[in-house]
Structure 1
């Protein structure tokens, strides 16, 4: 059987096209939805543009609706890189062998939370959580959040010796830090926990009525947000790709883009940095 020369050229052309497509796969990343979605899309589209240029690759950001969805997308290889909180990063990396935390914000090395209260409580800032909190209504952020749930619950249990449901008259989950702030500011919940970066950014932007809501406690420091990358990206995108992504993130110095996080810079990170988070999550039963 002989091939028509034109047909043969078409087959060669298609094979070349498929090979080129395979070698130029889109590199996709996501982020936990810890703030208003509009802000997140603007921030991470900027990151996608930056990484596309630095990596000379097609890089795309896709938003997700929940922390669990971010972890699932990472596990299922729908995304290869993610901006996780401490807890979601621990959970995601455990599901994908060889995955690494490769960079964190400079401020994420010693992150902390604020507990905030509505003016109607009459609570003032203190060195610890006070017994007057008992019987108040309380909101966490997302159930899968480090600063919105894990760390606040840990300290509530440590200080009161009881579960949050036994300390407060009603416990809720707002979904993200921005909503926690709004719910406490409006008095829908009397007390809540928020990550300090969201509080400070909203305060700087003039979005907090400090007559209605105030900080009542600052937690001890802990490791938090980080960029995590799947353990198989070098097989898919070429040898050394993980190192190239790490180097690009560490080199990111666009003031506007960093301010949108907000972070002053990204610094190296490793899985071992987040062992305290894994331990706390195991201690209070969030992970096995």
Structure 2
């Protein structure tokens, strides 16, 4: 009898240890607004930093599209995700999620309208009757907010442009415009600046023709039932990233952030309203 009890106790201990090991992994994902290899490159140093700060393994879980991130976060398949403002609103409608931090830049984010440099286009009005590309349909900066601001100017994309396409990602939009697949498009201002700085935009093929008004965008959000103490530790880790520390400055540069600041769900009410007005949310 004692042997059976010891065996059962051993089995329970093994299960407990296994459960603890599983709980010691923070599963993180991100909306695929850039190429998968670029997302992995950007996250690797941040993931290593979080592992040190949190004392647990951090695993990046790539996904195929924006909807998959929302589904994974609201069904507890992942613990934390880098979301755009619109995907945060979508996630918050499907379940309890908690936005922790955003880049300081995300409190005044913008999108850039671009055009094929050989098409003789110098403004949005010149795009009338031309082909146009948004990024992903679920993208805040590549679709929702640009569409919202276009409509505020009396431009309904489906009737103003010859045809509307969705490239799926910001860098893909630039490639489409550069190749002439479409004559105009819109993308995240941060990605545009990064591509220009890296010399990946040929000014003979693509040019900037406009910028949207500012709005709130990206944030790091966790599932609502994630341990409260762990949420606090994650927030603290992001807020302590210091640009004066060379290693941490490199992390911030990859994230295109001057620093991280706390955020809250109320910051994204404007995006929720814009999505409803644009007919993209009920």
TM class by smaller structure: over 0.9
Unaligned segments of structure 1, at least 5 residues: none
Contact between 1:184 and 1:190, CA under 8 Å: does it hold in 2?
yes
Contact between 1:120 and 1:190, CA under 8 Å: does it hold in 2?
no
The answer to whether structure 1 residue 281 and structure 2 residue 275 are counterparts is yes
- What is the aligned residue count? 275
- Give the aligned partner of residue 254 of structure 2: 260
- Give the aligned partner of residue 34 of structure 2: 35
2:139 to 130, 138, 145: 145
Does 57-66 or 82-91 show the bigger shift? 57-66
Secondary structure (helix, strand or coil) at the match of 1:233 reads coil
1:205 to 192, 198, 219: 198
For 1:84-163, what aligned pairs fall within 5 Å after superposition? 84-97=83-96, 99-124=97-122, 129-130=124-125, 132-159=126-153, 161-163=154-156
Does 13-22 or 88-97 show the bigger shift? 13-22
2:240 to 251, 260, 272: 251
Unaligned segments of structure 2, at least 5 residues: 243-247
Secondary structure (helix, strand or coil) at the match of 2:118 reads helix
| Per-residue Cα deviation, 1:221-240 (whole angstroms, up to 9, x for no partner) | 00000011111011xxxx51
In structure 2, C-alpha distance between the alignment counterparts of 1:195 and 1:241, rounded to whole Å? 31
- Give the aligned partner of residue 12 of structure 2: 15
2:229 to 197, 219, 240: 240
Secondary structure (helix, strand or coil) at the match of 1:202 reads helix
Contact between 2:131 and 2:162, CA under 8 Å: does it hold in 1?
yes
Does 88-97 or 8-17 show the bigger shift? 8-17
In structure 1, C-alpha distance between the alignment counterparts of 2:205 and 2:82, rounded to whole Å? 32
- Give the aligned partner of residue 195 of structure 1: 188
Contact between 1:52 and 1:59, CA under 8 Å: does it hold in 2?
yes
TM-score after normalising by structure 1: 0.91
Contact between 1:93 and 1:230, CA under 8 Å: does it hold in 2?
no
For 1:181-192, what aligned pairs fall within 5 Å after superposition? 181-192=174-185
Contact between 1:82 and 1:228, CA under 8 Å: does it hold in 2?
yes
Does 269-278 or 242-251 show the bigger shift? 242-251
The answer to whether structure 1 residue 226 and structure 2 residue 226 are counterparts is no
TM-score after normalising by structure 2: 0.93
